[in-house]
Amino acid sequence: MLTGPTLQNMLPSVLTKFREAEVAFTADIEAMFSRIRLRPQDARYHRFLWREDGSSEIKTLQMDRLAFGDRCSPFIAINTIRRAATDSGVGGEVADAVHNNLYMDDYLDSAKNVELAVERATGVKETLAAGDFHFKTWLSNSPDFLMAMGVDPA
């Protein structure tokens, strides 16, 4: 399988933007690869042999979701996330954040104040949730941001 073009943002660029403003925040997309379903005509190329412990029977199984180890998986995952943002019709800061502040399944961002951080984080969270990508493990240097995102800062 071909790897596809490199869509992944450069880590130094993402980290620099993450450290630019006063309120830094980050989250992780839960099970990013396994949220992406393969088309039936593509899934047939993701077959493998499986044998249960202690059994001599060999089964042929098939992955119906994007596999972590495939060479093309990073391209497909990033492209799918960007497509989810495009399909949602969102624009402006939220679209820019989806395109520029993700490093694979990690979202890293910063804003001038808590209100702007919560607004952008909520926009990105809702936009990606519409495409079945859900954030977990919100972290921030601001307890107020965490409380606004429904996270216990303790």
Bridge partners (DSSP) of residue 25 are 109, 140
The matching CATH number, chosen from 2.30.31, 1.10.3470, 2.40.128, 3.30.70, for 11-37+66-148 is 3.30.70
pLDDT digits (tens, 9 = 90+) for 71-124: 889 999 999 999 999 998 888 899 999 999 999 999 999 999 999 999 999 999
* Contact criterion met (CB below 8 Å) for 3 and 92: no
Under 8 Å between Cβ of 65 and 33: yes
pLDDT in tens, 44-66: 988 999 999 999 999 999 999 99
CA 42/CA 103 separation, integer angstroms: 26
Asked if 144 and 116 touch (Cβ cutoff 8 Å), the reply is no
Beta carbons of 85 and 99 less than 8 angstroms apart: yes
How many DSSP H helices and E strands does the chain contain? 6, 6
- How do the domains of the chain map onto residue ranges? 11-37+66-148
- Residue 4 in this model has a pLDDT that exceeds 90: no
**5: Cβ–Cβ under 8 A, 6 or more apart, which residues?**
75
Kindly report the pTM of this predicted structure: 0.86
Spatial contact of 64 and 43, defined as CB atoms under 8 Å apart: yes
- Mean pLDDT throughout 138-144? 96
Q: Is the pLDDT of residue 138 over 90?
A: yes
C-alpha distances in Å from residue 19, one per residue of 15, 110, 111, 122: 6, 7, 9, 19
User: pLDDT class for 126, splitting at 50, 70, 90?
Assistant: very high
What average pLDDT is seen over the chain? 93
Instruction: Determine the average pLDDT of the residues in 131-150.
Output: 95
User: How many residues in total does the chain contain?
Assistant: 154
